[in-house]
Amino acid sequence: MSRGFSISAMPGFPFIALLCFAVLYLPVATLVFYAFNAGINVSVWEGFSLRWFQSAWHNTAVQEATIRSAVIAVVAATIATVTATMAAIATTRTAPYRGLTFKYAFINQPLMVPEIVTAVALLIVFSRIKIWTGYSGLGYLIAAHTAFCIPFAYMPIRARLEGMDLTLERAAADLYATPWAAFRRVTLPLLWPGILAGFMLAFVISLDDVVITEFVKSAGQETLPTYMLGQLKRSVTPEINAISTVFLGISVLLVTMFFFISRKKT
């Protein structure tokens, strides 16, 4: 009996896989390692210390940038998740019709357009609005992050809806439940893991964004990623490694939670 094809059985696969992992994770491991360096040099080990984590913790600029990043990410992820949930329901709980594929493509358009193009377009539009209105607050960053995060929240929510059994929803309709009552008592509890996964994914994307934020933000609106970018242009110290290590830990935690929640069965 013939054996099925397996990529792992190909000659050289283990070496190529290990090489790829090394290229991906060795720089990250080096960054984390030197975050605990006692000295100021980022390439010479001078002993173990937590001084740079303490320095970052007491840095006022880091505190302000972190709070601003968290506020923008939470608000943008919330709005994006609500919008993505409504879009996912509208595009899955309906009979196929002409133009439905176009709507899928339209919702996912930010994923296909280079981020720098989106950033320049938002800069042009928002600059005109700032001139007309005189407003230059965080609303622009929140709007930009929301628009960019919608497709990231939409994907797990839509996948959850498509994998759900329609029996309970149809039974609720047969028992004269209104569409809102059926959604609130049947669809929403089953959809909740997908909504949480979409929210966490949108939150991480917003929290990590640099390009769009750098183009859209006004003076004094540094987020943590743009603050780190600015510091790298001036001087590199292990404090940046410490901030990056904490940032990495938060991102890994949220992505891990997203993975397990998205795998939760109905």
CATH code for the domain of 254: 1.10.3720.10
User: At 72, is the pLDDT very low, low, confident or very high (cuts 50, 70, 90)?
Assistant: very high
Tell me: do 71 and 96 sit in the same domain.
yes
Rounded Cα gap, residues 240 and 73, in angstroms: 21
Give domain status of residue 258, yes or no.
Answer: yes
Lowest-confidence range among 20-24, 37-41, 50-54?
37-41
Mean pLDDT is highest, among 37-46, 65-74, 223-232, 253-262, for: 65-74
CA nearest 216: which of 31, 45, 67, 76?
76
Tokens for 108, please give them.
Answer: 């996912």
Are residues 239 and 41 in contact, defined by beta-carbon separation less than 8 angstroms?
Answer: no
Tokens for 188, please give them.
Answer: 């929403």
Query: Would the pLDDT of 4 be above 70?
Result: no
Tell me: do 42 and 99 sit in the same domain.
no
Output the pLDDT for position 266: 45
Total domain count for the chain? Answer: 2
Tell me: do 40 and 120 sit in the same domain.
no
Query: Would the pLDDT of 241 be above 50?
Result: yes
Give domain status of residue 3, yes or no.
Answer: no
Query: Would the pLDDT of 28 be above 90?
Result: no
The boundaries of the domain holding residue 89 are 59-263
